[in-house]
Every structure is written in C-alpha cells, then in structure tokens.
Amino acid sequence: MWTGLSHCLWKTLWIRVMALWNVRRRLWNAPSAPPAELGVGGSRPGGRVGVVRRAGAWQDQGVDDPTPEPAPYADGPVAALRRIAFLLERSRAESYKVKAYRSAAQTLLPLGEEVADRVEDGTLTDLPGIGPSTAKVVVAAVQGRVPDRLATLEREVGGPLVEGGERVRAALRGDLHSHSDWSDGGSPIEEMAFTAMELGHDYLVLTDHSPRLTVANGLSVARLTRQLGVVEAVNEHLGDDGFRLLKGIEVDILDDGSLDQTEEMLGRLDVRVASVHSKLAMDPEPMTRRMVAAVHNPFTNVLGHCTGRLVTGNRGKRKQSEFDAEQVFGACLETGTAVEINSRPERRDPPTKLLQLAIDMGCLFSIDSDSHAPGQLDFLAYGCARAEELGLEADRIVNTWPLDRLLEWAKP
C-alpha cells in the first residue's frame, strides 16, 4: 500500500496524524461545550467535534455559564491555534496572517506535556515558530482561559457564512475538490483530512493540480504517485472511522480538450475534476469544442468552475469564458458528468443564469469548496445556499451520495 513512501516520510506522517488524532480525541471527551454545539456556519449537523467547535458556547445558547470569568477553556493550545487559523481561513484572511497559527500548532503537536512545562518556566518562545502573538494564545489555553484572539474571532467571524442552504448542507456527505500544500494549498494533507472529519464529512477528495499548471506547483506523474502513497497511509492511520480520504486530481483541460495527465495515472484515481485554467478568453466556438471534448473523456467526473470567472477578491475580477452552454451541459447530461457549483465566494461559478440552465436541462451537480486551506472547507455553505435558492434536488448532487454510490458513478 504505502511502500512508495520513504521510512522518514512514513514516520513523520505517523507522528503528525497520531498527534492530531489525540487532539481530536481530547475534544470529543472535553466537557467545555454542550452537545448541540458541534459545528459552525455551514458545517453539517451532527458533525464530529473538533476544530469547528466554538469557544464560549454556553453564552451562545443563552445558558448561564456556571463558572466565573474569565471563560473556561479545556481544549488545549493546539486546538486553540487550529481554531484561530480555521476562522481566519474561512473569513478569507490573507495567508500570512494564518501561517503563524498553523506553524505554531505544528510545532506543538508532538510535544504533549512539555508545552505546559515551557509555559511555566517561560521558555515557550524558544521553540521555532512560536512568537509573541501565538505564545499569548498558548499561555491562555494552558491556563484554562479562552485566548483573547480566539474570543474576538468567534465574536466577529464565527457565525454562519451565509443565510439559507441548511437543508442542502445537511445532505452533503463530502467535498470533491480540495487542495493541499503539495500544489497551491496552504496545509498538509492530513490537516485537510482531519478538518473535513471535524466538519462532519464522510469523504474528502484531494484534487491537487496537474503538471501543466506550474504556477500552482502541479504534480508530475512521479509526485502524484508519491502523493497516492500518502493518501493510503493517512487512510491506514485513520482506520475504520467512517471517513475516507479519496485520491483525486484537478486536471487541466488542454487547448484541444485532452486532459493534462496520463491515462494510467487517471485510472488510479477515485474522482477527477477537469477544469480550464488557460486561454480563458478563447473564442466561443473552439472553447465549446474544447470543453465538450473534455466532458466526453471517460475519466472526467466533474466539470470544474466552468466559466473561470472571478467576481471579487484580491486576485481582481475576470470575465467569464464564452461557450455554448447548451452544448456543454448537454454533453454533461449525456455522459453523467457533474457540473460543479464552485463555492468559492470569488468565483460563484456557474453564474446564476447558467446554473439555472443546467438545472433545467437535468444535469448532475457537485457542490465543492475548491478549498486551498482547512478553514475554506466551510465554503460549502455558499454553494448550498445557491443550490437551495434555485430548488436543486439533493439527489442530483453527487456528493450527497453514500461513498459506494459515488465511487461506482466515478468509475471510467
């Protein structure tokens, strides 16, 4: 299974996964929040407890906190740092603001009781990646207090991301489009997987970019092969916990409609998202041929962010690609390919007019986060609100399906 991994990589992965597992187990058993406080924003009801649990949950539910101020906090410093990073990511903060908290959490993960000892003897900032701001968070958490930074973020950005969509969000079982630091994401594979578990997912598809997209550090055949070994190792470590990390790719649709990866490698994957990332201003006729050819490729499962538009954000705005939508969605309907409802707020892709057309034509859909950081996995709430507003039935959304049905559908 994981024989392609070096002993060093296997050992490092094992340490990180087991450390995250211990943090998660502690959160499951911690009494600091009532049972109803299991998620935040668009999180699936009944999700696993973890990074998604909010600090100060007693007050949120109108229950008098039985303990005096300052508010008690029992989840520990790593959970506090991860929660802060999660909230910054889901509120689309700049990555440099998040990095300090993610790095500090990684530093503390394997240390156990040593963290409390360092707080007591004042040597916490001697550790790599622990600066004054993150040290304040750690000290407060070790002392059993809600860190000020965490309390502020919970108050300002910890609520629902969007109104509506709760019915569709409750039906989602997973996410078919996510990125790790193997391409242009910001966090390790195992951190993405654990956050997905904590949000209540049954599965998450890891879809890092294909080789041609060098600006996003796309994966060559050799690197993708190595990544598949990491995915297998993560699943082996997790065991039978009701969650599975799936092997996938966001594969570029090349100019002629072919896919930017070998058939041998595409055949080893569970789910494949095909997207246009280049020559987005191509004339409508050749763009239509390009997209239809990609949809007819037997390895294509999901047509990702079909217009490529950007409507807001620090990357600026970008006009949508022009193509014959009836032909493209007709090809999706014919082949059973899902049209992605890309939930990133700067994309909102497809635009409402095209999304309504695809719904009216009878297409299948996938509501995906296109997350590049753990907190962005919660972006699903945006796509669910759009789907619910337009009356899309849950059974036409492939990531509401159980894992076995999803994998059978995704077979070439």
Q: At residue 372, what is the residue type?
A: H
Contact yes or no for 343/379 (Cβ under 8 A): yes
pLDDT tens string for the chain (412 positions)? 344 455 555 455 556 666 565 655 544 444 333 222 223 334 554 444 345 555 544 334 344 444 446 678 999 999 999 999 999 999 999 888 899 999 999 999 889 899 999 999 999 999 999 999 999 999 999 999 999 999 999 999 999 999 999 999 999 999 999 999 999 999 999 999 999 999 999 999 999 999 999 999 999 999 999 999 999 999 998 888 799 999 999 999 999 999 999 999 999 999 999 999 999 999 999 999 999 999 999 999 999 999 999 998 777 899 999 999 999 999 999 999 999 999 999 999 999 999 999 999 999 999 999 999 999 999 999 999 999 999 999 999 999 999 999 999 999 9
Q: Which tokens is 189 given?
A: 């594979």
Domains for the chain: give ranges and CATH numbers.
8-157 (no CATH), 166-410 (3.20.20.140)
